[in-house]
Structure 1
Amino acid sequence: MAEIWIVNFSINSQQFTDEELLKKLPESTVDRALRYLKRESFLSFVIGRLLLKKAILESEYSSFLIENITYSDNGKPSFTNVNFSISHSNGYVVLIFGTVFQVGIDIEKRKNIDLKLFKYLFRDSEWKIIMQNKSPLDRFYWYWVRKEALLKTVDCSLKELEGLEIFEDYGIYKDQRYYFKPFEFNPEFNGVIAMEEEMDVNVKFIELETLLK
Structure 2
Amino acid sequence: MIHIYYAYLSEKNHENLVKTNLHKFPQEYQNKIKSFRRWQDAQSSMLGRLLLYKGIKELYGNKIHFNDLRYTRYKKPYFEDSFVKFNISHSGEIVVCALCDNCEIGIDIELVTNVELNDFKSQMTSKEWDNVLSSNSTEASFFDYWTQKEAVLKAYGNGLTIPLRSFEILDNKTQIKNEKFFLKKIAIDEKYKCYIAQNVNINQFSITKYNQNL
Query: Is the structural similarity TM-score above 0.5?
Result: yes
The answer to whether the 8 Å contact 2:7/2:94 transfers is: yes
Structure-2 residue corresponding to 1:135: 137
Structure-2 residue corresponding to 1:156: 158
Q: Distance in 2 between matches of 1:91 and 1:146?
A: 19
Structure-1 residue corresponding to 2:36: 36
Question: Match for 1:204: what amino acid?
Answer: T
CA RMSD of aligned residues (A): 1.9
Percent of aligned pairs with the same residue? 27
Question: Match for 2:103: what amino acid?
Answer: F
The answer to whether the 8 Å contact 1:25/1:50 transfers is: no
The answer to whether the 8 Å contact 2:183/2:197 transfers is: yes
- Aligned to 2:168, the other structure's residue is in SS state strand
Structure 1 position 32, deviation (Å): 2.9
Match of 1:202 among 170, 182, 206: 206
Structure 1 position 29, deviation (Å): 1.8
Structure-2 residue corresponding to 1:60: 60
Q: Distance in 2 between matches of 1:8 and 1:33?
A: 18
Structure 1 residue ranges, 4+ long, deviating more than 6 angstroms after superposition: none
Is 1:175 the counterpart of 2:178? The answer is: yes
Structure 1 position 154, deviation (Å): 0.3
Question: Match for 2:191: what amino acid?
Answer: E
Q: Which moved more, 1:197-206 or 1:2-11?
A: 2-11
Structure 1 position 188, deviation (Å): 0.7
Question: Match for 2:7: what amino acid?
Answer: V
- Aligned to 1:16, the other structure's residue is in SS state helix
Structure 1 stretches lacking a partner, 5+ long: none
**TM-score with structure 1 setting the length:** 0.90
Question: Match for 2:177: what amino acid?
Answer: K
Q: Distance in 2 between matches of 1:73 and 1:30?
A: 22
- Aligned to 2:60, the other structure's residue is in SS state coil
- Aligned to 1:5, the other structure's residue is in SS state strand
Q: Which moved more, 1:129-138 or 1:53-62?
A: 53-62
Structure 1 position 21, deviation (Å): 4.1
Structure-1 residue corresponding to 2:108: 106
- Aligned to 2:114, the other structure's residue is in SS state coil
The answer to whether the 8 Å contact 1:87/1:105 transfers is: yes
Is 1:5 the counterpart of 2:5? The answer is: yes
Structure 1 position 16, deviation (Å): 2.3
Structure-2 residue corresponding to 1:191: 194
**TM-score with structure 2 setting the length:** 0.89
Q: Deviations over 1:125-156 (max 9, x none)?
A: 21122122221111100101100100000012
- Aligned to 2:99, the other structure's residue is in SS state strand
Structure 1 position 173, deviation (Å): 0.9
Q: Distance in 1 between matches of 2:189 and 2:17?
A: 27
Seen in structure 2, the aligned counterparts of structure 1 residues 74 and 61 have a Cα distance that, compared at 3 Å, is farther
Q: Distance in 1 between matches of 2:37 and 2:78?
A: 24
Structure 1 position 27, deviation (Å): 1.3
Q: Distance in 2 between matches of 1:202 and 1:60?
A: 15
The number of residue pairs the alignment matches comes to: 210
